[in-house]
Amino acid sequence: MADPPRRPRDSGDPVSLATAPAIAVETTLGPGVRRDDAPLTPSPLREFWSDFSQNRGAVAGLSMVIGLILIAIFAAFVAPHSPIEQFREATLTPPVWQDGGTARFILGTDPLGRDILSRLIHGSRLSLLIGLISVTLSLALGVALGLLAGFFRGMTEIFIMRLMDVMLSLPSLLLAIAVVAILGPGLINAMYAIAIVLLPHYVRLTRAAVIGETGKEYVAAAKIAGAGPLRLMFNTVLPNCMAPLIVQATLGFSTAILDAAALGFLGLGAQPPTPEWGSMLADALEFIQRASWVVTWPGLAILITVLAFNLMGDGLRDALDPRLKR
């Protein structure tokens, strides 16, 4: 816990440098830090929350995301039926408020007689998991490559950044499809594909932030104090590059969920009987005229989830981006 004091990311002017370290240490270390020089400015975390909570859309997005996470965690308790149990006597039952609907299947059943609500609830697990795994994978690799490019410059940088340019020249879904073409269709491979699609954004952001930070005095100070390259990279510079990465990661969730659903829809992602929202849509396509509810609900679930992450991401960006403050 003996890190050199960090400079808060949002103080661009050198004047605030004097008071800054105490603030940063306090929030990152939590309780037990000295409070004798209590800061006059609110702590960054509190300041962030007050900015974030002013944005009603952002708070709505956050609540929706928390709600989704709770539904996903407690899916087995919330869902009225099993997501794969087929009620053969009740295929294509309409939702409860339509003629012929029953309270047993609130949102109706699919062509195989599976309860749509239960499948949607279990599907939320998959969508969040896809988002979490592909964003984490991509972020870890992207930050590592971005740090390498930003620190070592020269040939390393040229090689990494050219590679990212190549990846960016492919439309995202096409790149994902190319990866799936190599690895073969399936949920896990779809996650890898999406992680690769997201990668260039994290690499570029990290590299740009690292290059912006390395010229600053606190990095020189850490270097003089004898910090090695790894310590400089991960302990000194990286924490100060986090703001854009957090925003991008949140927005990455929505891209991941959307692309995974698109891959599922095209038959290249999750395979039946997995209750993944995109593949649920694809399975129901031929029944669209007879039973519109089989396509309405999964799409709505995707839309709401993606919207929630986008709202939250926009709010985070506004709250974390110092340029937009005041």
Partner 1 sequence: MLGFILRRVSLVIPTFFGVTLLAFSLIHLIPGDPVETLSGERGMDPARRERLLHEFGLDRPLPVQYADYVWQVLHGDLGTSLTTHEPVMKEFLILFPATIELALCAMLLSVLVGLPAGVLAAVKRNSVADYAVMGVSLTGYSMPIFWWALLLILFFSVQLGWTPVSGRIAVEFDVPATTGFLLIDAIRSGEPGALRSALSHLILPSIALGTIPLAVIARMTRSSMLEVLREDYVRTARAKGVSRLRVIVVHALRNALIPVITVIGLQVGLLLSGAILTETIFSWPGVGNWLIHGVLSRDYPVVQGGILLVATIVITVNLVVDLLYGVVNPRIRHG
Size of the site for partner 1 (CB under 8 A): 41
Minimum gap (Å) between residue 137 Cβ and partner 1: 19
> Degrees (nearest 5) of the Cα angle 269, 272, 276?
60
**Residue 170 found at the interface with partner 1 (CB under 8 A):** yes
Segment near partner 1 (CB under 8 A), from 14-22, 179-187, 208-216, 225-233?
179-187
Give the whole-angstrom CA distance, residue 88 versus residue 85.
Answer: 9
- Using CB under 8 A as the binding rule, the residues of this chain from 277 to 296 that contact partner 1 are 278, 281, 285, 288-289, 292, 295-296
Minimum gap (Å) between residue 173 Cβ and partner 1: 4
Which residue in 59, 96, 132, 163 binds partner 1 (CB under 8 A)?
A: 163
Number of residues that this document lists for the chain: 326
What burial class does residue 162 get, using C-beta atoms within 10 Å of its C-beta: 0-12 exposed, 13-18 middle, 19+ buried?
Answer: exposed
x-marked contacts with partner 1 along 227-256 as a string, rule CB under 8 A: ---------------------------x--
In the complex with partner 1, which residue's Cβ is closer, 101 or 299? 299
Q: What contacts 158, CB < 8 A, 6 or more positions away? A: none
Give the whole-angstrom CA distance, residue 102 versus residue 257.
Answer: 31
Give the whole-angstrom CA distance, residue 319 versus residue 313.
Answer: 10
Give the whole-angstrom CA distance, residue 142 versus residue 125.
Answer: 25
Which residue in 162, 220, 225, 286 binds partner 1 (CB under 8 A)?
A: 162
**Residue 69 found at the interface with partner 1 (CB under 8 A):** no
Give the whole-angstrom CA distance, residue 136 versus residue 153.
Answer: 25
Which residue in 180, 190, 222, 312 binds partner 1 (CB under 8 A)?
A: 180
- Using CB under 8 A as the binding rule, the residues of this chain from 22 to 61 that contact partner 1 are 57
**Residue 166 found at the interface with partner 1 (CB under 8 A):** yes
Which residue in 302, 312, 316, 319 binds partner 1 (CB under 8 A)?
A: 302
Q: What contacts 232, CB < 8 A, 6 or more positions away? A: 151, 219, 222, 223
**Residue 92 found at the interface with partner 1 (CB under 8 A):** no
In the complex with partner 1, which residue's Cβ is closer, 28 or 296? 296
**Residue 8 found at the interface with partner 1 (CB under 8 A):** no
Residue 115 phi, psi (nearest 5): -70, 120
Which residue in 66, 73, 174, 225 binds partner 1 (CB under 8 A)?
A: 174
Which residue in 8, 146, 298, 315 binds partner 1 (CB under 8 A)?
A: 298
Residue 75 phi, psi (nearest 5): -50, -45
Minimum gap (Å) between residue 158 Cβ and partner 1: 9
Tokens of residue 230, six digits: 């790894």
Tokens of residue 249, six digits: 């990661």
**Residue 310 found at the interface with partner 1 (CB under 8 A):** yes
Virtual CA dihedral for 47, 53, 57, 63, nearest 10 degrees?
120
- Cβ neighbour number for residue 191 with a 10 Å cutoff: 25
**Residue 123 found at the interface with partner 1 (CB under 8 A):** no
Residues that bind partner 1 (CB under 8 A): 57, 162-163, 165-166, 169-174, 177-178, 180-182, 254, 258, 261-262, 265-268, 278, 281, 285, 288-289, 292, 295-296, 298-299, 302-303, 306-307, 310-311, 314
